[in-house]
Structure 1
Amino acid sequence: MTTRNIVHLDADRVYWTTEVTYDRFPARQLWALAAPIHELVIPARLRHAAGASRPGDLQHQLVTTFQRRLGNPVLSRLPGQTLLETTGRSSGLPRQTPIGGRRVGQEFWLVSEFGERSQYVRNIQADPRVRLRLHGRWLRGVAHLLPDDDARARLKSLPRLNSTAVQAFGTDLLTIRIDLD
């Protein structure tokens, strides 16, 4: 595989082109795996160089791309997976997101790894009425964002596997409580 990066500058824009030539078939497969990451990293690096990025932007893009393309579609199909259903703030359509958390009485607690940057959190801000699939049953509730709660401490009371992933990849932790009907 041979690659060539071409950068073109004009008055107020930077154009980056990547040309890829495959010498062997395995290279095509390798590039198919690398291209989505490349398509995220290059614009993020350019924004960072221009001073237009926030800390954690690249990590946020990589994790959410992985979740959107692979993690969420696979997890959503697992019968025991907890799902949060919000109403899309623009479309008005139901949006389901696999989540981790714990039910305590008539409340369900979770921590969002990217806080208000998460699409499901933005949907909650627009309409806090949600549905939760818990142990195969759908429950209705109202979600509350709790920015004053200590999200790191809260993770210690939630299931370990999910909490470890949220702490490892999260950049803007935000506690959410769902009051179940």
Structure 2
Amino acid sequence: MNGQLERFWGRLVGPLGAERSAGVVSAAALGTVLVAVQTKRRNGFLAATTMAPIAFDLIGGVIAFQLTPTRAKYAESPLRERMVFVGAHLQPFAVPVVGDGSWKRAVARYASAVAATATLETVLASDPRRRLVANLVAGALSAADVATDRGPQRWLGPVYLMKVIGGHGGTPRHDTDSGNTDVSLPSELAALALRTRSLARSPITLYRSGFGRLLGSRMMMLEHTGRRSGQQRFVCLEVVERPAPNRLVIVSGFGERSQWFRNLQAHPACFVSTGGRDRVPATARMLSEDESAAALRRYQQAHPRAWKHLRGAIESTVGVPVNQLPMVELRLQE
């Protein structure tokens, strides 16, 4: 029985050895006891037994992912398996179940964690900077979560985000260089983000909180004016090209039916946040078909892997060839 338990533990966290395993278990157990005791006092025994294993898993996971053997073990996992595992992290929903929080916050935590991890898996698959970026994103989201949550289970938000985004999302994949890469899944993830409003809009929170620069200069937030309502609207997009320091080119993934595209046609004046620049005034210009095709060819040459995923995501979502999609040039004011 001990042998089976040891093999299971090894598959879960990697070959930590007895000493480090004992350290992870002891720290997780201590945190679990504190959570269980406090939960039992408020909500009774059943609620405590619900939160105890969740506390053990999350606290132990955060600690284990600081250790090299755990990260090395997880790096060997294929992309599809990793995303299924991340999607199974439903711990935030236990908080409203035991009566200590809202369903709205639970959905926000889950959507943010899955969206951030999917983005890291797609954009920074084997990039050595991935762990740093993941920890910065997780830290920023955790700080925002702590600042707005006054509930008794407020420990769960930052621990959950650090485990899922900083741990799972921050571990580069080794299978990208082995010929084993699942080419279709990143496109499926991107397509899911395009179709799912909560996932597509989740980076807006980072930008509006002042942390948009963590997403780098290839991402941007566009602030545009509703053509009918006159109200400010927000959308996050990838920068396809930078023809000049003060010019950006973006593509409308849903064609001319995209609301932001139609709004820019009616009101070209807008604001752009990207990299270290926040809310820079800009003017939009719709590119001609020839200009769009030329920009797309340059993007394909500069970012071949991203092109493969972008093309698959858009075509599977919209059903229109990418080379037929309209593009917009944004001229930023100096």
Q: What is aligned with 2:249?
A: 109
| Structure 1 contact 84–97 (Cα < 8 Å) conserved | yes
From the superposition, tell whether residues 116 and 96 of structure 1 become closer, same or farther in structure 2 (CA, over 3 Å).
Answer: same
One-letter amino acid matched to 1:131: F
Bigger Cα Rg: 2
- 1:93 matched to 2:231? The reply is yes
TM-score normalised by structure 1 residue count:
0.56
Partner SS, residue 149 of structure 1: helix
Is 1:132 the equivalent of 2:272? yes
Aligned 8 A contact 1:155 1:163 in 2: no
Task: Tell me which of 53, 70, 73 is aligned to 2:199.
Answer: 70
Closer/same/farther in 2, CA of residues 165 and 153 from structure 1, 3 Å limit: farther
User: Hey, what's the Cα distance between the residues in 2 that align with 1:121 and 1:144?
Assistant: 10
- Give a deviation string over 1:7-60, Cα, whole Å, max 9, x none: xxxxxxxxxxxxxxxxxxxxxxxxxxxxxxxxxxxxxxxxxxxxxxxxxxxxxx
Matched, 1:167 2:311: yes
The Cα shift of 1:70 comes to 1.7
Q: Count how many residue pairs are aligned between Structure 1 and Structure 2.
A: 119
User: Shift of residue 77 of structure 1?
Assistant: 3.0
TM-superposed deviation, 1:180: 1.3
Task: State the 1:163 CA deviation.
Answer: 4.3
Distance 1:144-1:164 versus aligned 2 partners, 3 A rule: farther
| 1:71 Cα deviation from its structure 2 partner | 1.9
Distance (whole Å) between structure 2 residues aligned to residue 88 and residue 155 of structure 1: 27
Root-mean-square deviation (CA, aligned residues, Å) is: 2.6
Which residue number corresponds to residue 258 of structure 2?
Answer: 118
Contact 1:106–1:179 (CA under 8 A) maintained in structure 2? yes
| Cα offsets for 1:64-91 (capped at 9, x unmatched) | 542x232222x22342341011101111
Structure 1 residues 149, 162: CA separation in 2 closer, same or farther (over 3 Å shift)?
farther
Letter in 2 for 1:105: P
Gaps of 5+ in 2: 1-191, 207-211
What CA distance in whole angstroms lies between the structure 2 residues aligned with 1:77 and 1:156? 32
Counterpart secondary structure, 1:90 = coil
Task: Name the aligned partner's letter for residue 76 of structure 1.
Answer: I
Shift of 1:63: 6.8
Other-structure match for 1:82: 220
**Could you say which structure has the higher strand fraction?**
1
Change (3 A) 1:147 1:76: same
- 1:176 has 2:320 as partner: no
One-letter identity of the residue aligned with 1:123:
N
Q: Is the 8 A contact 2:193 2:200 kept in 1?
A: no
What letter corresponds to residue 167 of structure 1 in structure 2? R
- Measured after TM superposition, the shift of residue 93 of structure 1 is 1.1
Q: Secondary structure at the match of 1:70?
A: helix
Q: Is the 8 A contact 1:113 1:167 kept in 2?
A: no
1:119 maps to amino acid: Q
Worse-superposed segment, 137-146 or 100-109: 100-109
C-alpha distance in structure 1 between counterparts of 2:290 and 2:327, whole Å: 6
- 1:127 and 1:151 map into 2 onto residues whose CA distance is 21
User: Which residue of structure 2 lines up, in the alignment, with residue 155 of structure 1?
Assistant: 296
More helix by share: 2
Distance 2:205 2:252 in 1: 21
Q: What TM-score results when the alignment is normalised by the length of structure 2?
A: 0.32
State how far apart, in whole Å, the 1-side matches of 2:310 and 2:237 are. 10
Cα distance in structure 2, aligned partners of 1:139 and 1:124: 16
SS in 2 for 1:92: coil
Distance 1:100 1:162, change over 3 A: farther
